[in-house]
Amino acid sequence: MKIIILPRFFLSVALVLIALATTGCNSKQTNHIPNKLTIGLVSYGEGKVSLEKYERFKNYIGLKTQSIVELEPAYNELQAIAQIQRQRWDIVFATPGLAAIAIGKELYIPLFSMEGAGSRQHSLLIVRDDKPLQKISDLANKTIALGETGSAAGYYVPLYDLYGLTLARIRQAPTPEMVLEWVDKNIVDAGAISDQDFEIYRRNFTTKFRILHTSRWIPPGVVLLAPTIERNQQQQIQKAMNDAPADIAADAGYVPTAKIPNYQEFIKIVEKVRPLEARVKQRPATLLLEGSPQQK
């Protein structure tokens, strides 16, 4: 048997080629790192019960997009606004107030409506029935409860409707139920809440409430996508959500077949009242910008 001894140079080259081939094989096995997607929503402290509805959607999107998907709840709109401004949320189940900010200022992309075309939401100003208050102007120099900054029905729309008034004080409640509790206990003279939340939470009280004012129509919430999502991934997410089984879409609260609402007019309302935010904390709270006429 003849033994061939390779020169040291050729031996070194052979070892390098073997190492490169081995590395190439390993890289094919390990270089696929799943994307990470964060789903944001407001849960109002409902915690586990609220998040369970999104669990199947989370798993479904993770499977279809081959991504690691996390649910990140915010317990009020103020926390949610901060996450949207930092673009920490990739997919957002946005209430109308959050949607107006996210679309208008942060360039989030609306994908799906969270309600059908027949669904409409309004902001209500609620008082105890035994109060003599009859119209919005009667709230001058009274104490009013609003929701958290970022809420359409609880904050932006009532601010718009109360524009021009001077209020003794504005108190902000962390949840819609707390608004009714403060009205119930005479902590405030009136409170702002959506008609949908009013129907849900009024059952928890024995007090007879009365609707003092009903606002204009508020567009439904929408599912938004962060502008940082790459286009191919955007199309992948949109197709997966559009093709989702009906029960998964229903649990997550969006309607694939519903028309996406036009937010342009509502964004204008939100932008008009946002400069008033500094006055909300003042006592008294004069809901009028300097140099502005007392009209909408």
Q: Quick one: pLDDT at residue 11? A: 44
End-to-end CA distance of the chain: give it in Å, rounded.
Answer: 102
Q: Determine the pLDDT at residue 77.
A: 82
pLDDT of residue 7: 52
Which of these ranges, 32-41, 152-161, 182-191, 252-261, has the smallest mean pLDDT? 32-41
In this structure, are 184 and 71 located in the same domain? no
- Do 112 and 245 belong together in one domain? yes
pLDDT at 119: 57
pLDDT number for residue 278: 86
Is residue 108 included in any domain, yes or no?
yes
Considering the domain architecture, whether residues 188 and 157 belong to the same structural domain is answered as yes
Q: How confident is the model at residue 116 (pLDDT cuts 50, 70, 90)?
A: low
| Cα–Cα distances in angstroms (integers) from residue 157 to residues 135, 211, 292, in the given order | 16, 15, 19
Comparing C-alpha atoms, which of 171, 170, 165 is closest to residue 137?
165
Which pLDDT belongs to residue 44? 63
Q: Strand 91-94 to strand 35-42: parallel, antiparallel, or no bridges (unpaired)? A: parallel
Q: Do residues 254 and 154 share a domain? A: no
Weakest-pLDDT range from 4-13, 134-143, 165-174, 279-288: 4-13
Burial of 78 (0-12, 13-18, 19+ CB in 10 A): middle
Residue 2 domain-assigned (yes or no):
no
What's the whole-number mean pLDDT along residues 63-71? 93
How much of the chain is helix, strand and coil, in % rounded to 5? 45, 20, 35
Q: Are residues 236 and 206 part of one domain?
A: no
3-state secondary structure string across 11-24: HHHHHHHHHHHHHH
**Digit-coded pLDDT (tens) for 36-45:** 999 998 876 5
Under a CB-based contact definition with an 8 Å cutoff, are residues 71 and 77 in contact?
A: no
User: 235-268, pLDDT tens digit by residue?
Assistant: 999 999 999 999 999 999 999 999 998 999 999 9
User: Are both 157 and 276 inside the same structural domain?
Assistant: yes
Residue 19 in domain? no
- Residues 246 and 274 reside in one and the same domain: no
Range 282-295 average pLDDT: 76
Q: Quick one: 180 and 251 in the same domain?
A: no
Note if the pTM is more than 0.85. Answer: no
- Please give the average per-residue pLDDT across 124-148, as a whole number: 96
Q: Do residues 151 and 277 both lie within one domain?
A: yes
| One domain for residues 128 and 238 | no
Q: What is the CATH number of the domain that holds 141?
A: 3.40.190.10
Is 100:46 a contact under the CB 8 Å cutoff? no
In which domain, by residue range, is 181 found? 123-217+270-286
Place 118 in a pLDDT band, splitting at 50, 70 and 90.
Answer: very low
In a domain, 4, yes or no: no
**162 occurs within a structural domain:** yes
Q: Residue 291: pLDDT band by 50, 70, 90 thresholds?
A: low
pLDDT at 76: 80
Q: Are 221 and 102 in contact (CB under 8 A)?
A: no
> Is pLDDT above 60 for 140?
yes
Residue 134, in any domain of the structure: yes
144 and 224 inside one domain: no
User: Which range in 31-35, 183-187, 272-276, 279-283 is most confidently predicted, on average pLDDT?
Assistant: 183-187
Task: For residues 126 and 158, give the distance between their C-alpha atoms in angstroms, rounded to a whole number.
Answer: 11
In a domain, 255, yes or no: yes
Q: How many domains does the chain have?
A: 2
Beta strands in 59-216 (DSSP E): 67-74, 91-94, 109-113, 123-128, 143-146, 166-167, 169-172, 190-194, 209-214
Domain assignment present for 11: no
104 plus 57 within the same structural domain: yes
